[in-house]
Amino acid sequence: MVEKILFIEGTTDDTNGNLRQGFYKLLSKKLKGIMPRIKMGDGITTTVKKFLKNKRSKDNFLLIDLDKPKSEKDNKISEYRLSDYKNYVFFMIQEMETWFLLQPEILDEYYGKGTSEKLINKNSEQIEAISKPAEYLMKLTKDTKKGEYHKVRHGVLLLEKINADELEKKSSEFASLIRRLKE
């Protein structure tokens, strides 16, 4: 059996926390025993290059931020010349932080009770439409006991808290990624 590789947009610098480890813990909740090797790619351009450079394309998958509404997926795929790999490209809609906002209970658990009450949009479609989820989360958490959201330091811990089954129900893109990695 050929090893699958998942290239993920995100820092390889683990000074503030190991983002790769956070993704590993989240994905292993759904892929125990069939985990792909995770390679962090830093920024989107570098991540896409690493993905394209790897020769085993049918065993490689790409997880990147969309940074745009869901309706822009095809445009982003074209922009990065990924049309030939469309079935291997998955997006964090719009950013990884959307996943945290989709599970407000983890925000309350981590940042303190009542943090999620400040969420303006409560349903999945509204949350996925937030144009800059990381900035939104920073504003939401700036007065909490943990302080303002930090993408890596807090992101790693929040990834580990995500209920993967719940995320799969609320995010069709995450569900598609899991389904493809199980094939």
* Strands ordered across the beta sheet of 60-65: 37-40, 5-8, 60-65, 89-92
The single-letter code of the amino acid at 129 is A
DSSP string over 8-57: E-B----TT--HHHHHHHHHHHHHTT-PPEEEE-BSHHHHHHHHHHSS-G
For the stretch 151-181, pLDDT in tens is: 888 988 999 999 999 999 999 999 999 999 9
Q: Once rounded to an integer, what is the mean pLDDT over residues 18-37?
A: 91
108-119 pLDDT tens trace: 999 998 888 887
Give mean pLDDT, residues 88-116. 91
Range of the domain at 39: 5-182
Tell me if 89 sits within 8 A of 62, measured CB to CB: yes
Domain count, the chain: 1
Q: What is the pLDDT of residues 117-128, one digit of tens each?
A: 887 667 777 888
Q: Is the pTM of this model over 0.85?
A: yes
What is the Rg, in whole angstroms, of the alpha carbon atoms belonging to the chain?
16
